[in-house]
């Protein structure tokens, strides 16, 4: 018994001692690096070298490598939490990162290489003694960043230049400081990769003159909205992709929304689109799981392949749509009903496949064509009820292998089974906006099936009633 009690006592003592061990034991072999003193570094294949840095002064410092090796950098706190990283912001594959280090804290600089051989290079930490950074951002456009307050200002007349992964924006090395960007009213565009991977950037101010956002312009940044950039006409490929905090966008002037533009913006709830919208690119809103409300109002709008696949749309209103691409709404499990407007001429295969809760499909116009590769692919799940308006051309009891029912009559606005003067009064009130129909019954008012409600529909209905 005494031995057992002694053993228990030893365990308890060990339990008291263990928590006193440093939380950064994983960096126990780290060498010390001092500001202003470059260190020769040798990294073997598949290995990482760590340095401990304790800044004597709180300031911004540049951590960089020099040599011919393709290097990779991670900056961690004393608990091993990743604070920042960099790959190729320096020359010739070297890293170069400006980061705010606090006086008295311990930081760990982890260095590795993209190589199958042992590499030798130098790592240095240099104090900047500078809080404001500035330069040119394109022809006639300048930028300035106050690293203390985290605000970057873009001024001048013209467009922010295009950049790339291999040729990043001059402020990319300071991206960890950028919390907000203010864009002057005369700046007309945001170039490719301009604010790519600015993870701390949450707010955009100004930018009312911006008409274009280039490829990857704000991709993987922390933006929560687009502020007053409401005059954008063209958005490039992946312009806002993987912006996990983006909640809403105002795109009432947009003409083209590029491929994968908002892909996997999982917090995006809604978007406002105007009558000028001509194209929604492939995968544009793919994986936007919070995106519930979709309302289009354009003319001949083309919806690209898998544009809204996996999104949260419930009852999209596709007014003015001309083509619905392959897989456009694939896997939209919240969708319960869909109205295919009379303007739609083509529906891609798999367009509404795997919409497991889709119960009703209403075709307002003539029978559309089914397009896309794959002879066995279908456009809809067979469980959905399909309906069309009697009198529209191209319909029969079987459409593309689906059973369809023509139990609605064009012109029967009040749904009493007849087309008469009561319906004529209602359509007249519709034209002058004194009356409205639910979207899922809108096809009844489009008498000539052109997808629009005009005086022509009133005249045609009147002629039908008096048998002219």
Q: What is the mean pLDDT of each run of 10 residues along the chain (468 residues)?
A: 43 39 55 92 84 90 90 92 88 88 90 86 90 93 91 97 95 91 96 96 95 98 93 97 94 96 95 92 97 90 97 92 96 93 92 92 90 73 84 84 79 72 81 67 70 78 74
Give me the domain span that covers residue 29: 25-127
- Alpha-carbon gap, residue 3 to 9, rounded angstroms: 10
Same domain, 111 and 156: no
Count other Cβ atoms within 10 Å, centred on residue 189.
24
Q: Which residue among 67, 99, 127 closes a domain?
A: 127
Same domain, 178 and 63: no
Model pLDDT, residue 298: 86
Domain count, the chain: 3
Same domain, 326 and 448: no
Same domain, 143 and 30: no
List the one residue out of 406, 408, 426 whose CA is nearest residue 418.
408
CATH number at residue 289: 3.80.10.10
Model pLDDT, residue 316: 92
Model pLDDT, residue 422: 82
List the one residue out of 104, 117, 105, 40 whose CA is nearest residue 75.
105
Q: Which residue among 127, 149, 165 closes a domain?
A: 127
pTM of this structure: 0.75
Domain assignment present for residue 427? The answer is: yes
Domain assignment present for residue 19? The answer is: no
Same domain, 162 and 284: yes
- Alpha-carbon gap, residue 262 to 267, rounded angstroms: 11
The interaxial angle of helices 421-431 and 455-465, nearest 10 deg, is 170
Same domain, 324 and 453: no
Model pLDDT, residue 1: 46
């Amino acid at each position: 018994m005494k031995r057992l009690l002694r053993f228990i006592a030893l365990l308890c003592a060990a339990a008291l001692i263990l928590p006193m061990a440093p939380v950064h034991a994983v960096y126990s072999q780290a060498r010390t690096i001092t500001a202003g003193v470059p260190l020769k570094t040798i990294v073997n294949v598949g290995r990482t070298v760590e340095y401990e840095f304790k800044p004597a002064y709180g300031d911004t410092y540049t951590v960089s490598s020099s040599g011919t090796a393709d290097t990779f950098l991670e900056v961690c706190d004393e608990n091993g939490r990743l604070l920042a990283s960099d790959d190729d912001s320096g020359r010739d594959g070297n890293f170069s990162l400006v980061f705010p280090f606090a006086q008295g804290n311990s930081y760990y600089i982890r260095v590795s290489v993209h190589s199958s051989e042992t590499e030798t290079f130098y790592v240095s930490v240099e104090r900047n003694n500078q809080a404001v950074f500035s330069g040119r951002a394109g022809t006639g456009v300048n930028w300035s960043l106050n690293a203390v307050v985290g605000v970057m200002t873009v001024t001048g007349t013209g467009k922010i230049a295009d950049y790339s992964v291999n040729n990043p924006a001059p402020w990319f090395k300071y991206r960890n400081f950028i919390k907000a960007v203010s864009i002057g009213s005369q700046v007309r565009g945001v170039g490719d990769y301009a604010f790519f991977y600015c993870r701390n950037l949450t707010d955009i101010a100004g930018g009312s003159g911006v008409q274009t956002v280039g490829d990857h312009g704000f991709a993987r940044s922390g933006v929560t909205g687009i502020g007053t950039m409401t005059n954008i006409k063209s958005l490039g490929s992946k312009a806002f992709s993987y912006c996990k905090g983006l909640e809403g966008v105002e795109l009432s002037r947009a003409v083209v929304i590029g491929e994968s533009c908002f892909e996997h913006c999982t917090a995006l709830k809604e978007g406002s689109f105007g009558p000028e919208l001509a194209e929604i690119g492939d995968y544009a809103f793919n994986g936007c799981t919070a995106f519930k409300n979709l309302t289009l109002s354009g003319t001949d709008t083309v919806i690209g392949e898998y544009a809204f696949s996996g999104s949260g749309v419930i009852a999209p209103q596709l007014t003015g749509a001309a083509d619905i691409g392959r897989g456009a709404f694939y896997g939209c499990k919240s969708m319960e009903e869909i109205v295919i407007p009379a303007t739609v001429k083509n529906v891609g295969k798999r367009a509404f496949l795997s919409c497991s809760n889709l119960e009703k499909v209403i075709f307002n116009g003539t029978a559309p064509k089914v397009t896309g590769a794959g002879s066995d692919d279908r456009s809809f799940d067979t469980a959905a009820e399909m309906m069309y308006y009697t009198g529209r051309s191209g319909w029969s009891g079987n459409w593309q292998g689906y059973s369809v029912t023509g139990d609605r009559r064009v012109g029967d606005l009040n749904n009493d089974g007849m087309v008469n003067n009561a319906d004529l009064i209602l359509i007249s009130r519709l034209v002058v906006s004194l009356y409205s129909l639910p979207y899922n019954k809108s096809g009844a008012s489009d008498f000539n099936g052109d997808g629009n409600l005009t005086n022509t529909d009133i005249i045609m209905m009147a002629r039908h009633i008096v048998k002219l």
